[in-house]
């Protein structure tokens, strides 16, 4: 579904990503793990069209989207939940969800709002509340619900557990698995390596903009290198 070939990204003179290649197959949860500054968010933002790469190629469903504008990438079926949630303050929960459906012209909107409310009952309760007044965990749910309203084939999640209480982290990860089981492919970036690898089919370990290890979620959880560097073992 997604193929990244030899991707290199720079900020001015600083190269953040060095020739990274990986793929995501339909129906998978794939995770990229690594320390802060490893280049994880840069890769997601480049896939989403928010950053232009220095070189390399991004293929989504065999179409080259390397230079495609972000709105066309969303329309093609690829949606990102950004790090830090970025809900629209001053707009209600419902209006935030409507923003997620902005590009849609189909008939299925009502059923999809209901589906989001089924996954995140707290959003239904607070549908008329200003999004800025929600707790961190609730804002994360709203950001995920908003992304789902664009009906993505591939959902990009950037640090969904960041700043959340442990009870919310468990809930968010079980919802990620549920979304995946219902047919959405997921590319997940996460500092909580243990949680990410426990739900992922496959994973890649990034260090200073390069992939240094890859394997199934179970293999990486079991790897001595990963345990030492990311799992406190």
Ordered structural domains, the chain, with CATH: 2-230 (3.40.50.300)
- Please tell me the predicted confidence (pLDDT) of residue 102: 84
Instruction: Report the C-alpha dihedral over residues 149, 151, 153, 155, rounded to 10 degrees.
Output: 0
The mean pLDDT of 95-107, rounded to a whole number, is 85
Quick one: pLDDT band at residue 52, thresholds 50, 70, 90? very high
Q: Up-side HSE of residue 43: CA atoms within 13 Å toward CB?
A: 37
Residue 33 contacts residue 206 (beta carbons within 8 Å): yes
Closest alpha carbon to 38 in 228, 184, 230 = 230
Of the chain, the percentage scoring pLDDT greater than 90 comes to 66
Q: Is it the case that residue 232 has pLDDT exceeding 70?
A: no
Residue 183 contacts residue 27 (beta carbons within 8 Å): yes
The mean pLDDT of 108-134, rounded to a whole number, is 91
Q: Is it the case that residue 112 has pLDDT exceeding 80?
A: yes
pLDDT digits (tens, 9 = 90+) for 73-89: 998 999 988 887 788 98
Q: Is it the case that residue 233 has pLDDT exceeding 70?
A: no
Q: Taking the model in full, what pTM does it have?
A: 0.90
């Amino acid at each position: 579904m997604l193929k990244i070939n030899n991707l290199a990204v720079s900020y001015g003179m600083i190269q953040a990503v060095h020739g990274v290649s990986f793929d995501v197959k339909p129906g998978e949860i794939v995770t990229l793990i690594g320390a802060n500054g490893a280049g994880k968010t840069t890769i997601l933002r480049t896939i989403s069209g928010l950053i232009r790469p220095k070189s390399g190629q991004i293929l989504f469903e065999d179409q080259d989207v390397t230079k495609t504008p972000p709105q066309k990438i969303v329309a093609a079926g690829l949606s990102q939940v950004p790090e830090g949630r970025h809900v629209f303050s001053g707009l209600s929960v419902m209006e935030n969800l409507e923003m997620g459906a902005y590009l849609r012209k189909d008939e299925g909107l009502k059923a999809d709002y209901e589906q989001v409310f089924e996954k995140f009952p707290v959003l239904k309760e607070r549908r008329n509340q200003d999004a800025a007044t929600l707790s961190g965990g609730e804002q994360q749910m709203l950001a995920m619900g908003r992304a789902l309203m664009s009906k993505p084939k591939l959902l990009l999640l950037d640090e969904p557990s960041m700043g959340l209480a442990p009870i919310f982290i468990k809930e968010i990860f079980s919802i990620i698995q549920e979304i995946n089981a219902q047919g959405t492919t997921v590319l997940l970036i996460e500092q909580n390596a243990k949680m990410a690898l426990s739900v992922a089919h496959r994973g890649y370990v990034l260090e200073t903009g390069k992939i240094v290890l890859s394997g199934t979620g179970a293999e990486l959880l079991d790897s001595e290198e990963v345990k030492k560097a990311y799992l406190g073992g």
